Amino acid sequence: MSNLEDLYREIILDHYRSPRNRGELPTPPAHRVEGFNPLCGDDVVIYLNVRDEVLEDIKLTGHGCSISQASSSLMSAAVKGRSLAQVQSTIDTFKELMTGHDASLSKDEEIDEELDLRTLGELAALQGVVKFPVRIKCAMLAWNALRQGLEEFAQSPGH
Protein backbone atom coordinates (compact mmCIF):
# COMPACT_ATOMS: atom_id res chain seq x y z
CA MET A 1 0.00 0.00 0.00
CA SER A 2 2.68 2.49 1.01
CA ASN A 3 4.82 1.34 -1.92
CA LEU A 4 1.98 2.21 -4.23
CA GLU A 5 1.59 5.62 -2.61
CA ASP A 6 5.32 6.19 -3.12
CA LEU A 7 4.95 5.24 -6.78
CA TYR A 8 2.02 7.63 -7.18
CA ARG A 9 3.99 10.42 -5.51
CA GLU A 10 6.93 9.75 -7.85
CA ILE A 11 4.67 9.93 -10.91
CA ILE A 12 3.15 13.25 -9.80
CA LEU A 13 6.55 14.77 -9.03
CA ASP A 14 7.96 13.53 -12.33
CA HIS A 15 5.16 15.19 -14.31
CA TYR A 16 5.42 18.37 -12.22
CA ARG A 17 9.17 18.65 -12.76
CA SER A 18 9.19 17.49 -16.40
CA PRO A 19 5.80 18.44 -17.81
CA ARG A 20 4.87 16.66 -21.05
CA ASN A 21 3.63 18.47 -24.18
CA ARG A 22 4.59 21.85 -22.82
CA GLY A 23 4.31 24.77 -25.25
CA GLU A 24 2.01 26.38 -27.79
CA LEU A 25 0.58 25.56 -31.22
CA PRO A 26 -0.17 28.17 -33.93
CA THR A 27 -3.80 29.40 -33.94
CA PRO A 28 -5.37 28.71 -36.29
CA PRO A 29 -5.47 25.83 -37.01
CA ALA A 30 -5.12 25.02 -33.30
CA HIS A 31 -7.99 25.84 -30.96
CA ARG A 32 -6.95 27.68 -27.80
CA VAL A 33 -8.78 27.44 -24.48
CA GLU A 34 -7.99 28.77 -21.02
CA GLY A 35 -8.85 27.55 -17.57
CA PHE A 36 -8.49 29.24 -14.20
CA ASN A 37 -8.97 27.95 -10.67
CA PRO A 38 -9.51 30.99 -8.42
CA LEU A 39 -9.42 28.86 -5.25
CA CYS A 40 -5.75 28.06 -5.74
CA GLY A 41 -4.63 30.51 -8.43
CA ASP A 42 -3.85 27.76 -10.95
CA ASP A 43 -4.15 28.54 -14.64
CA VAL A 44 -3.79 26.55 -17.82
CA VAL A 45 -3.84 27.37 -21.54
CA ILE A 46 -4.44 24.44 -23.88
CA TYR A 47 -3.88 24.27 -27.65
CA LEU A 48 -5.71 21.53 -29.54
CA ASN A 49 -5.23 20.28 -33.07
CA VAL A 50 -8.17 18.11 -34.12
CA ARG A 51 -8.37 16.45 -37.51
CA ASP A 52 -10.66 13.69 -38.75
CA GLU A 53 -12.08 13.17 -35.23
CA VAL A 54 -8.60 12.62 -33.79
CA LEU A 55 -6.83 14.83 -31.26
CA GLU A 56 -3.65 14.93 -33.30
CA ASP A 57 -1.71 17.26 -31.06
CA ILE A 58 -2.04 19.00 -27.72
CA LYS A 59 0.24 21.53 -26.06
CA LEU A 60 -0.25 23.48 -22.89
CA THR A 61 1.20 26.14 -20.71
CA GLY A 62 0.24 27.13 -17.22
CA HIS A 63 1.25 27.95 -13.69
CA GLY A 64 0.13 26.74 -10.32
CA CYS A 65 0.40 24.08 -7.68
CA SER A 66 2.01 20.70 -8.23
CA ILE A 67 -1.34 18.91 -8.48
CA SER A 68 -2.72 21.20 -11.20
CA GLN A 69 0.49 21.11 -13.23
CA ALA A 70 1.05 17.36 -12.85
CA SER A 71 -2.59 16.68 -13.74
CA SER A 72 -2.39 18.77 -16.93
CA SER A 73 0.80 16.98 -17.97
CA LEU A 74 -0.69 13.55 -17.22
CA MET A 75 -3.82 14.53 -19.15
CA SER A 76 -1.89 15.62 -22.23
CA ALA A 77 0.03 12.34 -22.30
CA ALA A 78 -3.19 10.34 -21.88
CA VAL A 79 -5.19 11.99 -24.67
CA LYS A 80 -2.65 12.95 -27.34
CA GLY A 81 -3.17 11.04 -30.59
CA ARG A 82 -6.47 9.49 -29.45
CA SER A 83 -9.81 9.62 -31.20
CA LEU A 84 -12.27 12.17 -29.83
CA ALA A 85 -14.43 9.29 -28.57
CA GLN A 86 -11.48 7.87 -26.63
CA VAL A 87 -10.64 11.33 -25.28
CA GLN A 88 -14.21 11.81 -24.06
CA SER A 89 -14.13 8.39 -22.42
CA THR A 90 -10.84 9.24 -20.67
CA ILE A 91 -12.30 12.56 -19.45
CA ASP A 92 -15.32 10.69 -18.06
CA THR A 93 -13.14 8.04 -16.39
CA PHE A 94 -10.95 10.67 -14.77
CA LYS A 95 -13.97 12.59 -13.52
CA GLU A 96 -15.30 9.38 -11.99
CA LEU A 97 -11.95 8.85 -10.30
CA MET A 98 -12.09 12.37 -8.82
CA THR A 99 -15.67 12.06 -7.65
CA GLY A 100 -15.12 8.60 -6.24
CA HIS A 101 -17.81 6.85 -8.26
CA ASP A 102 -16.33 3.92 -10.08
CA ALA A 103 -18.80 1.10 -10.04
CA SER A 104 -16.47 -1.19 -11.97
CA LEU A 105 -14.15 -1.68 -9.00
CA SER A 106 -14.50 -4.65 -6.69
CA LYS A 107 -14.38 -4.40 -2.90
CA ASP A 108 -10.87 -5.79 -2.51
CA GLU A 109 -8.67 -2.70 -2.18
CA GLU A 110 -5.42 -4.23 -3.37
CA ILE A 111 -7.05 -5.68 -6.45
CA ASP A 112 -8.74 -2.31 -6.99
CA GLU A 113 -5.44 -0.50 -7.09
CA GLU A 114 -3.86 -2.93 -9.53
CA LEU A 115 -6.94 -2.56 -11.68
CA ASP A 116 -6.62 1.21 -11.51
CA LEU A 117 -3.04 1.07 -12.69
CA ARG A 118 -3.95 -1.20 -15.57
CA THR A 119 -6.96 0.75 -16.78
CA LEU A 120 -5.89 4.28 -15.92
CA GLY A 121 -2.13 4.01 -16.28
CA GLU A 122 -0.35 6.94 -14.68
CA LEU A 123 -3.63 8.82 -14.17
CA ALA A 124 -4.23 6.52 -11.19
CA ALA A 125 -1.49 8.46 -9.41
CA LEU A 126 -3.96 11.30 -8.89
CA GLN A 127 -6.56 9.25 -7.07
CA GLY A 128 -5.12 10.25 -3.66
CA VAL A 129 -6.32 13.79 -4.42
CA VAL A 130 -9.88 12.64 -3.67
CA LYS A 131 -9.00 12.75 0.04
CA PHE A 132 -8.47 16.52 -0.23
CA PRO A 133 -11.63 18.07 -1.70
CA VAL A 134 -10.02 21.49 -2.25
CA ARG A 135 -7.37 19.90 -4.46
CA ILE A 136 -9.92 18.16 -6.68
CA LYS A 137 -10.48 21.50 -8.44
CA CYS A 138 -6.73 21.71 -9.03
CA ALA A 139 -6.68 18.21 -10.55
CA MET A 140 -9.82 18.82 -12.67
CA LEU A 141 -8.76 22.24 -14.03
CA ALA A 142 -7.03 21.07 -17.23
CA TRP A 143 -9.65 18.37 -17.81
CA ASN A 144 -12.52 20.86 -17.63
CA ALA A 145 -10.65 23.18 -19.99
CA LEU A 146 -10.05 20.29 -22.41
CA ARG A 147 -13.73 19.38 -22.38
CA GLN A 148 -14.68 23.03 -22.99
CA GLY A 149 -12.13 23.34 -25.79
CA LEU A 150 -13.44 20.26 -27.57
CA GLU A 151 -17.03 21.53 -27.26
CA GLU A 152 -16.04 24.92 -28.66
CA PHE A 153 -14.17 23.24 -31.50
CA ALA A 154 -17.19 21.07 -32.35
CA GLN A 155 -19.40 24.18 -32.50
CA SER A 156 -16.95 26.36 -34.41
CA PRO A 157 -17.91 27.19 -37.98
CA GLY A 158 -15.96 25.73 -40.85
CA HIS A 159 -14.22 22.80 -39.25
Residue numbers at the binding site for Zn ion (CB under 5 A): 40, 42, 64-65, 68, 138
Query: Around Cβ 1, how many Cβ atoms within 10 Å?
Result: 8
Q: Which is nearer to Zn ion, 31 or 137 (CB)?
A: 137
Asked whether the beta carbons of 36 and 144 are under 8 A apart, the reply is no
Shortest distance in whole angstroms from residue 82 CB to Zn ion? 26
The alpha-carbon radius of gyration of the chain (Å, integer) is 16
Shortest distance in whole angstroms from residue 130 CB to Zn ion? 15
Q: Which is nearer to Zn ion, 51 or 63 (CB)?
A: 63
Shortest distance in whole angstroms from residue 137 CB to Zn ion? 7
DSSP 96: H
Q: How far apart are CA 20 and CA 14, in angstroms?
A: 10
Q: Which is nearer to Zn ion, 62 or 64 (CB)?
A: 64
Q: Helix crossing, 66-79 with 133-155: angle to 10°?
A: 40
Q: Which is nearer to Zn ion, 48 or 138 (CB)?
A: 138
CA 60 from centre of chain: 11
Q: Which is nearer to Zn ion, 49 or 94 (CB)?
A: 94
Shortest distance in whole angstroms from residue 80 CB to Zn ion? 23
- Residue 57, beta-bridge partner list: 49
Q: How far apart are CA 142 and CA 37, in angstroms?
A: 10
Shortest distance in whole angstroms from residue 89 CB to Zn ion? 25
